[in-house]
Amino acid sequence: MTAPSARVVSVSFDRAHRFSKPTAASITLIEGIGVEGDAHAGATVQHLHRLKNHADEPNLRQVHLIHSELFTELEGEGHGVEPGQLGENVTTEGIDLLGLPRGARLAIGDDAVIEITGLRNPCTQINRFQTGLMKAVLGRNENGDVVRKTGVMSVVVRGGVVRAGDAIVVTPPAGEQSALEVV
C-alpha cells in the first residue's frame, strides 16, 4: 500500500542527546529498542524531557521519521534544513507519513519493520536551531486543528539494517484505523 517510489533518503543517529543527528551510511534497528547506538534507543522512555515523569513507560519514540518533502516546503519559506538536522533517524520520500494511521507498519529494506505510534510534537529547540522554524512546522487544517509537520515516531517490530535508497512498503493496521496523536 505505497507508491513504488517510497524510499529512504537518509539515515541518522547520535550517541548523545543533541537536537540534530549526523547522517550515516546505515543504521541498525533493534527489535523493541530502536536505533543501535542512538541516545533515544531503549525499551523504556529515553527522551530527556519525558524521563523525569515517565521513565518506566514504554518507549514509543524509538525511531523518528520525517518526510523529505517537508524540507522542500521549508526551503520555500526561507529555511534550509538537511536530513538529520531536525533529529530524525530516517528521512523518507514518497510517503505521506503524517496521514498514516496509528499502528501502520513500514517494511524498510530487506528486513526491518517499524510500527507507527504517533506524531512528534515540535519543541522550542526548533527555534534555537533556526529562528522562526517552529511557526513554519506548525499549521492548521481545514477544521482549524493544529497540524504538526515534524514527522512521526515508531517502535521497531523487526530489526535490520536501513540505508539510503531502501524501499519502504506500508501496511495499514487491521480493523478500525485511528488518526495519529502526539506521543
Q: Are strands 63-67 and 90-93 parallel, antiparallel or unpaired?
A: parallel
Residue 179 placed within a domain: no
The model carries a pTM of: 0.94
Q: Tell me which residue range forms the domain holding 14.
A: 7-171
Please give the chain's pLDDT, 183 residues, in tens. Answer: 555 689 999 999 999 999 999 999 999 999 999 999 999 999 999 987 777 787 889 999 999 999 999 999 999 999 999 999 999 999 999 999 999 999 999 999 999 999 999 999 998 899 999 999 999 999 999 999 999 999 999 999 999 999 999 999 999 999 999 999 999
Q: How many domains does the chain have?
A: 1
Domain assignment of residue 24, yes or no: yes
What are the strands, taking DSSP E only, across the chain?
7-12, 23-24, 26-30, 34-35, 63-67, 90-93, 105-108, 112-119, 138-140, 146-148, 152-158, 160-163, 168-171
In a domain, 158, yes or no: yes
CATH number of the domain enclosing 28? 2.40.33.20
